[in-house]
Copies of this chain bind each other. A is one copy, B any other.
Amino acid sequence: MRFKQLGFIAALSLSALAEPGMAQTADPLPSWNDGANKTAIINFVEKVTKEGGSGYVAPPERIATFDNDGTLWAEQPLYFQLIFALDQIREQAPQHPEWSTTEPFKSVLAGDSKAVMASGKEGLMKIMAASHAGMTADEFAASVRKWLSESKHPTVERPYNQVVYQPMLELLDYLRANGFKTFIVSGGGIDFMRVFAEETYGIPPEQVVGSTLDAKFEMRDGVPTIVKTGDLMLNDDKAGKPVGIYRHIGRRPILAGGNSDGDLQMLEYTTIARDAEDTTPRFGLLVHHTDAKREWAYDKDSHIGKLEQGLVEAEQRNWTVVDMQVDWKTIYPPQ
């Protein structure tokens, strides 16, 4: 399903309802309530696209990067990729009788999430290795595709790739319609996200940057094959995000969006001027989860998507903090 088309249709409908005498331009962000934040976004886009204007940015430099978990799709009650990993352990258990007596697998299979958490980082790495490595790239992609088609979010009760934010889909479309190239730069796994990013967000695989396990190439029965190995080549979180941007994109974004302190360095790298000559307009955006009723409300005390320092820096650096409850008309796309 192409959510972006739905956004476009919604925009057209709103336009058709406009009062006579009003400009007939479709609202590019129909799921955003009018207010300072929506105005700031639109002003920025108009500024960088106005040829001859002081803030004009040539199209090749219109790079926009977005975090995924908590920014484009939800991240509660657990990171969706972790739910995928736990589901994979359950699915693969029949082929691994040894797991019934080995931690952290034993606890995963018993549904004892407290014990799973108690296994700490080491346990988590074992879960990730068993579900994300030691298989071909094609096998991994197929396992993600199967999981997305069969699983539903426990409370939103939709496939996980429909638990995405309609206002952010509109923002991606709006940026692209104005010559931006949109990228994901997320702590999530690069090849996990690539399975659905093109269909869900209109972002092709080559514009997805994420945490990366190493891979090797080999011929298997005459077929060229990529095999996923377990070594971490990029932890695309915190200071890893600007490194991922440098490695995969090779130029600084002019707009970056995130929702947690894991996005701090990406927003700093994007928005802080290098020197006095660096006058390119730049935009930092933080999605603040303030909507306990329609979504979740969390920030500085949350283990997932902790946002504390980001709110402090947002004031200093003039980043736009989206108040989900106030700024967003709808949360999820129409089904």
Contact = CB atoms under 8 A, between A and B. Distances in A.
Interface stretch (A79-87, A218-226, A323-331): A218-226
Copies of this chain assembled into the complex: 2
Interface stretch (A1-9, A148-156, A239-247, A285-293): A239-247
A60 B242 contact: no
Nearest to A250: B205
B243 A217 contact: yes
Given A224-B242, A233-B233, A268-B224, A248 B206 contact: yes
Nearest to A234: B233
Contacts of A241: 217
A194 to B, nearest CB: 5
Interface string A256-281: 00000000010011001011000000
Interface string A157-168: 000000000000
Contacts of A243: 214-217, 226
Contacts of A181: 206
A198 interface: yes
Of the four ranges (under 10, 10 to 19, 20 to 34, 35 or more), the interface on chain A belongs to 35 or more
Interface in A201-216: 204-208, 212, 214-216
A190 interface: yes
Interface in A159-205: 181, 183, 190-191, 194, 198, 204-205
8 contacts: A60-B198, A63-B206, A137-B246, A205-B249, A217-B239, A217-B240, A217-B241, A224-B272
Given A183-B206, A215-B246, A217-B240, 19 more contacts: A60-B198, A60-B204, A190-B247, A190-B250, A194-B250, A206-B206, A212-B247, A214-B243, A216-B239, A216-B243, A217-B239, A217-B241, A217-B269, A223-B272, A223-B274, A223-B275, A224-B265, A224-B272, A226-B243
